[in-house]
Amino acid sequence: MTGTPPLTRRGLLGLGAGLALSPALAGCLPGDTPRDRADASRVVIGLSAAVTTLDPMNTTSVGTDLSVLSSVHSSLVTRGPDLTIGPDAATSWRRVAPTRWRFHLHPRAAFADGTPLDADVVVWNVRRLLDAANALRMTSNFPGLTRAEKVDRRTVDLVTSRPDADLLGALSFLYLLEPRWAARHKPATEAMGSGPYAITDYSPGGTIELRARDDYWGPAPAIRRVTFRVTPSEAARVSGLLSGELDAVAGLDPQDLNRLRADRGLRIQRLDTTRMAFIKLNTLKGPMRDVRVRRAVNYAVDKRAITSSLLKNTVAPSPGQLMTASYSGYTEGLTGYPHDPDRARALLREAGYGRGRPLRLELTVPSGQYVAGELVVQAVAQQLRETGVSVKINSVPFAVYMQKYLQQKAMPDMQYITQAWPTLAAGGLYGLFVSSSPYAYWDDEEFTDAVTRARGTDDRTERDALYARAARRARDQAPVLFLFPQPGLYATAEGLTWRARPDDWVRPAEMSWKGATR
Amino acid sequence: MIRFLVRRLALTVLAVWGALSAVFCLLHSSGDPAVMMAPVGSPPEKVAQLSHALGYDRPLAEQYASFFGDALRGHFPDSLTFQQPAMDVVLQRLGATVLLASVALAGAAAAALLIGVWTGSREGGGARREWPMWLVFLTQSVPGFYIGVLLVWVFGVELAWLPTSGATTATSVLLPAVTLACGVLPPLARVFRDNLRGELARPYSRTGTALGMSRARVVRHAAYGSMLPTVTVLGLEAGALLGGTVIVESVFSWPGVGQLAITALQNQDYPLVLADLTFLIIAFVVVNLVVDLLYGVLDPRVRHQGGQSR
């Protein structure tokens, strides 16, 4: 044989037939017709992880488990897209004593089986939550709550051990179960609630289908049918959006921003999440005990270069803060460490590091856990190297990372992490940095004192002043390398109205199709 | 035949035990799952308490013994994340994986037969005959996850013919099955094609042709003769296919046991990882056992010699 023989007529014919057949084949099989919005009351939402339990008190995962469960259950109060606390099963509430809150329940609030949602239900749920024998994961969000007391059928008091300004925020996480139903069913795998939707299909870790309840006592949601589809891979979420199979996805990677933006059928929203990214410095051992070294690494890193190139300008660098502006108790007016490599080098020299005694640091990052985490860490390491610091990066699975995180001896000099506190209270997040916290890696009397006093006071002005002192102390002492808020990138199909939220909730009841009538 | 069976079964049990022991040791070297379960901000005492309640603070040997003791009785502890018996969670996902794997395997086998006969039944023929083989080489050279992404791009995003994620409609299985089949097809097609050529060159084929048998009949007889090595490869590949589902199910968000294994590992859900892998390992070993037994059906010599020829 010499050369390649030309394709024959028959070969071409076969090729053509094959090509012609494939669309016909695809057409005659049932399937989702992409971009077909025939059913304007339906929405398909892509979740980044599987829903692991249907028990609302045994999970703290907002973006997945709780987002689904918030559609099925109701809570006393709820946090709206603007982060303010509003009514849900409770129509009004007030503080009747420093440690006692009174809630008036909606007169028609009821479960799907017709049982009224009354004071007894609330009392039972609080008892279930606080009973240590139940070992529920939500319990740790309610450090101050001691009990609930029935006042009358539709009125209930919640009692705390000390004045607790964060109670309302925490209560927006307490979804109420029906006591008699819970006794006869398994709340981990079954659900019957008093919320706007009912679950019609669920398998552990699989797709979840919801249908709006016709007998719901609150305002009827515009979206009547909801599918939560589990799409753990970022690529699958992006292709699902581009092909029109998914209508709404939260928590996308900024690396995909341009690709998503190029699609005219999609609407992109971005905002700062309530999660702050930083590199935690182990101030309890090694070179990071010296505040000059901690400040030097803060000066050495060009945060703006990282947010503009790796994060595509979806966020701005943090102004030297441990939390984002969404928190109650946030302090305005701080400024971050500017990028100043000369000053970094000078500080390092002052601390005794230089050519003869180079500074060697170890930096750990959990792989695949945080948006762009590994890329950010490489950029940070590169910039530190430019100031003469040698950095060794360890990329470890999240599980291994968490083991180290718990043992102060095992934690290296630097550790990439993002932190948020679900109730959006400064006291909660700062609590991770006080001396007694095993996660602090920082033993600072002034900071701890300010936070402890702020948490104990009831006076708003005094509390904010104390939190401001704590914030400035943290900025000054630099227990972390300040970075930026984790970007929140949301994509929705054109025509779907949904206000993205900084706190990870994905609630179908907050969505509607433009021009859809019900 | 009985002795053959008993020996095979004993080896099977040994293989399952060995594989599970390896998994157990690797898993437990990655740390204590209580750390992942405790809410952020929990003091170390709380974590230690949880670890104790779950029994993860016991000596490793004791945990090992109790795991195998339970597993022998068919009992698997509750999944830490799903809070229900781990094997139940696995079995609920089983249907999706079986569907995906059988569609992929059937598709690959059918394609291998067609390609084998098309390219192997005639000597020479050049590009006109050989082009399906080039395709086969291509699929062998490109990693599965890349083929998956490519298929998603072309058929899901650009042409928008087929769904790209989940198991929602009848067509959902096509893209993941084709991706999975691409990994199995090359060895199958090549072994079958080469053996077919070999059989066609043997005296019985020549005799058949000389006696005036039609070409199609000669090829059919030769194809029967080439079945044995092909089935061996098919069995081996069926095992590999189970491993392949881990990647393919992740790419296409296919709700099967492969994707479950990844989720369980990420959450350090020991009971679920162990249940999932116990299942996959047993499936792998059983498939191989079935293939061994199939020899007996396909090749009478194995039956009559009681399996002592090997």
d(CA B153, CA A240): 10
Please report which helix (H) or strand (E) contains residue B148, including its range: helix B144-151
pLDDT at A70: 95
Question: Is the per-residue pLDDT at A14 higher than 70?
Answer: no
A94 backbone dihedrals φ, ψ, rounded to 5°: -155, 165
Report CB contact under 8 Å: A32, B163.
yes
Burial of B76 (0-12, 13-18, 19+ CB in 10 A): buried
How confident is the model over A141-188, as pLDDT tens digits?
888 899 999 999 999 999 999 888 788 989 999 999 999 999 999 898
Residue B261's alpha-carbon distances to B221, B275, B297, in angstroms, are 44, 9, 35
Please report which helix (H) or strand (E) contains residue A226, including its range: strand A225-230
Whether residue A216 contacts residue A196, with contact meaning beta carbons closer than 8 Å, is answered with yes
* Alpha helices for A97-233 (secondary structure H): 119-130, 167-171, 179-184
How confident is the model over A65-96, as pLDDT tens digits?
899 999 999 999 999 988 889 999 999 999 99
Q: Considering only CB atoms, which chain B residues are within 8 Å of A230?
A: 166, 253, 255
Q: How confident is the model at residue A24 (pLDDT cuts 50, 70, 90)?
A: very low
Regions of chain B with pLDDT less than 70? 1, 36-43, 123-127, 300-310
Cα angle at B294 between B290 and B297, to 5 degrees?
150
Among candidates B262, B271, B278, B269, which has minimal Cα distance to B76? B271
Q: Considering only CB atoms, which chain A residues are within 8 Å of B126?
A: 1, 4-5
How confident is the model over A424-433, as pLDDT tens digits?
889 889 988 9
How many helices (H) and strands (E) chain B has is answered by 14, 0
Q: How confident is the model at residue A35 (pLDDT cuts 50, 70, 90)?
A: very low
pLDDT at A18: 45
Report CB contact under 8 Å: A30, B262.
no
Please report which helix (H) or strand (E) contains residue A453, including its range: helix A445-456
Cα of B242 to nearest chain A Cα, Å: 19
Q: Strands A496-497 and A512-513: what pairing? A: antiparallel
Cα of B4 to nearest chain A Cα, Å: 41
d(CA A433, CA A341): 28
- In one-letter notation, the amino acid at residue A131 is D
Q: Which residue has the tokens 């490489």?
A: A378
d(CA A423, CA A172): 8
Q: Which residue has the tokens 């900025």?
A: A475
Q: How confident is the model at residue A21 (pLDDT cuts 50, 70, 90)?
A: very low
Instruction: Mention every residue, 6+ apart, whose C-beta is less than 8 A from residue B212.
Output: none
pLDDT at B304: 63
Whether residue B206 contacts residue B123, with contact meaning beta carbons closer than 8 Å, is answered with no
3-state secondary structure A139-157: HHHCCCEEEEEEEECCEEE
Among candidates B50, B2, B167, B26, which has minimal Cα distance to A245? B167
Report CB contact under 8 Å: B170, A29.
yes
d(CA B309, CA B298): 15
Whether residue B256 contacts residue A50, with contact meaning beta carbons closer than 8 Å, is answered with no
Q: Compute the average pLDDT of residues A247-257.
A: 90
Preferred mutation among A42, A403, A409, A455 to probe B, highest tally of B CBs within 10 A:
A403
CA closest to B32 among chain A residues: A403
pLDDT at B162: 76
How confident is the model over A307-317, as pLDDT tens digits?
999 998 889 99
Q: Strands A155-160 and A145-152: what pairing? A: antiparallel
Question: For chain A, what percent of residues have pLDDT higher than 70?
Answer: 91
How confident is the model over A195-246, as pLDDT tens digits?
999 999 887 777 899 999 999 999 999 999 999 988 878 888 898 898 888 9
Q: Strands A77-79 and A85-87: what pairing? A: antiparallel
Q: Give pTM, 2 decimals.
A: 0.79
Q: Considering only CB atoms, which chain B residues are within 8 Å of A52?
A: 81-83, 267
Whether residue B221 contacts residue B208, with contact meaning beta carbons closer than 8 Å, is answered with yes
Among candidates A4, A52, A231 on the partner chain, residue whose Cβ is nearest the Cβ of B81: A52
Report CB contact under 8 Å: A439, B168.
no
Q: Strands A42-47 and A248-249: what pairing? A: parallel
Among candidates B39, B163, B172 on the partner chain, residue whose Cβ is nearest the Cβ of A137: B39
Q: Which residue has the tokens 């019900």?
A: A518
Report CB contact under 8 Å: B266, A399.
yes
Question: Is the per-residue pLDDT at A1 higher than 60?
Answer: no
